[in-house]
Amino acid sequence: MKIDLKNTMSSILSNNTITSEIQSPKATTKAAVVKEEDEYGRITYIVKKNYQKKVKILAMKDNTSIRDVVNAAIGEYLAKYEKKNGALEL
């Protein structure tokens, strides 16, 4: 399949709809749909390799996403911290 990059970029920049042929399949998957009330930010951290492997195993074992495992772990850590030290101001 040949893609016309000039027309594709023009379409993207002018906010026109891109044809499904070149649209990412991830955009239509159930996992890509995020509820409006949930706010997520994209971040990148470097972690120990064994942590990375274990988090991936936990996600697969619990039939969930790595994002959910990491969010749960961070949530638990912050709740414990704030219980001991008081609420953090945003």
Is residue 63 classed exposed, middle or buried when 0-12, 13-18 and 19+ CB atoms within 10 A define those classes? exposed
Please tell me the distance from the alpha carbon of residue 81 to that of residue 14, in angstroms, as a whole number. Answer: 46
Neighbours of 69 (CB within 10 A): 19
Overall pTM > 0.75: no
Judge whether residue 64 has pLDDT over 80: yes
What CATH number has the domain bearing residue 53?
A: 1.10.1220
- 8 A C-beta contact, residue 65 and residue 59: yes
Q: How confident is the model at residue 88 (pLDDT cuts 50, 70, 90)?
A: very high
Domain that holds residue 68: 5-30+39-85
**Structurally, how many domains does the chain consist of?**
1
- The 8-class DSSP code of residue 17 comes to P
Q: Could you read off the pLDDT of 33-42 as tens digits, one per residue?
A: 556 556 888 8
